[in-house]
Amino acid sequence: APFAASEGGMMTATSLAARPCPAIIGRRAHTGSNASCSAKRAARPRCRRASLRVRAADDPDPEQVATDEGCRTIVITSGKGGVGKTTTSANLGMSIARLGYKVCLVDADIGLRNLDLLLGLENRVMYTAMEVLEGECRMEQALIRDKRWRSLALLPISKNRQKYNVTKDSMSLLIDILKDMNFQYIFIDCPAGIDVGFINAIAGANEAIVVTTPEITAIRDADRVAGLLEANDIYDVKLIVNRVRADMIKKNDMMSVKDVQEMLGVPLLGAIPEDTEVIVSTNRGEPLVLKKKLTLAGIAYENAARRVVGKQDFLIDLEQPKKGLLQRTKEFFTGSD
């Protein structure tokens, strides 16, 4: 079989540990040292990474269950810009709010803030976290509640886009205030890069979602970021592979989701297909997952959201022989079997 892709559920500890790396395909043949990213990381004498590598995103995590009552703070990061962090933040946040949880999205991409645009809330930014920190307003005044789903709130950090106003400590303080407001999920939309903006954005987080596309540049950056997260004591890291094109994978012109996942050695949370509706929804300020008739990317984001909250558990195998490619592709992203 050319490849077997899965959304992560089928990768059990034994199957992942036992299976050798698949044959190098397409552009991956040129990646050289990149191909051994996860191997290098696994070889480091560090604690929890090894167990994370072999645990699929869907396996129940005892620690996660224990903290379910409280608040989970998850930074959405990537290293490389333009791979879909903000799209992921908006869609996961909206989906999880629709599942009935209290969600706060924190726009920590101060220089290029656009989470407000994706959510269609840009005209409602009055106060920001800066005014909260300076004592000019209360957190409640800076939070923008989504009118479509009141359980979703957005915290813009700064209007004038001055990054130097934010520090690690002020970010942690903001997250602590939000935790006291009984949010169940706080997603922090991280800027690109690994400099001070990244360090500030991860300060208040104890979990991370790394977003990548199936391209070597994005994967290398994602690997760097995964290492930095671990160095900053964030061990609960999951992967979203975005802009996946089944037609290109089929022709060996694109790495499969499984290849990307194995290179990075991070449990898979979801694979999101390339979808022109993403652009339409960005321009409309309406996350994909709000559409009445969901496109594949919308369904894939909903599935990823259900996995974040631990509500989805299924296996998909692209190798099933009898079905047509379209059907299999659809099932791959929708999770139906």
Q: Which residues bind ligand ADP (CB under 6 A)?
A: 78, 81-87, 192, 242-243, 272, 274-275, 278-279, 282, 297
- The residue among 108 and 308 lying less far from ligand ADP, judged by its C-beta, is 108
Pick one of ligand ADP, Mg ion, none as the site partner of residue 84 (Cβ within 5 to 8 A by kind). ligand ADP
Pick one of Mg ion, ligand ADP, none as the site partner of residue 328 (Cβ within 5 to 8 A by kind). none
- Min. distance of Cβ 89 from ligand ADP in angstroms? 8
- Min. distance of Cβ 111 from Mg ion in angstroms? 10
SS3 string of the chain? CCCCCCCCCCCCHHHHHHCCCCCCCHHHHHCHHHHHHHHHHHHCCCCCHHHHHHCCCCCCCHHHHHHCCCCEEEEEECCCCCCCHHHHHHHHHHHHHHCCCCEEEEECCCCCCCHHHHCCCHHHCCCCHHHHHCCCCCHHHHCEECCCCCCEEEEECCCCCCHHHCCHHHHHHHHHHHHHCCCCEEEEECCCCCCHHHHHHHCCCCEEEEEECCCHHHHHHHHHHHHHHHHCCCCEEEEEEEEECHHHHHCCCCCCHHHHHHHHCCCEEEEEECCCHHHHHHHHCCCHHHCCCCCHHHHHHHHHHHHHCCCCCCCCCCCCCCCCHHHHHHHHHHCCC
- The residue among 49 and 80 lying less far from ligand ADP, judged by its C-beta, is 80
Integer-rounded Cα radius of gyration of the chain = 19
- The residue among 28 and 85 lying less far from Mg ion, judged by its C-beta, is 85
Selection from 207, 226, 217, 281 nearest residue 255 by Cα: 217
- Min. distance of Cβ 301 from ligand ADP in angstroms? 9
- The residue among 171 and 246 lying less far from Mg ion, judged by its C-beta, is 171
Backbone angles phi and psi of 109, in degrees to 5: -90, 80
Pick one of Mg ion, ligand ADP, none as the site partner of residue 116 (Cβ within 5 to 8 A by kind). none
| HSE-CB for 267 with a 13 A CA cutoff | 29
- Min. distance of Cβ 192 from ligand ADP in angstroms? 6
- The residue among 84 and 204 lying less far from Mg ion, judged by its C-beta, is 84
- The residue among 57 and 278 lying less far from ligand ADP, judged by its C-beta, is 278
Chain residues in the site for Mg ion (CB under 5 A): 85-86, 109
- The residue among 243 and 258 lying less far from ligand ADP, judged by its C-beta, is 243
- Min. distance of Cβ 244 from ligand ADP in angstroms? 8
Cβ atoms 123, 113 nearer than 8 A: no
- The residue among 184 and 282 lying less far from ligand ADP, judged by its C-beta, is 282
Pick one of ligand ADP, Mg ion, none as the site partner of residue 274 (Cβ within 5 to 8 A by kind). ligand ADP
Pick one of ligand ADP, Mg ion, none as the site partner of residue 158 (Cβ within 5 to 8 A by kind). none
Nearest residue to Mg ion, using CB?
A: 86
Per the listing, tokens 């339409």 go with 280
- Min. distance of Cβ 239 from ligand ADP in angstroms? 14
- Min. distance of Cβ 243 from ligand ADP in angstroms? 5
- Min. distance of Cβ 148 from ligand ADP in angstroms? 20
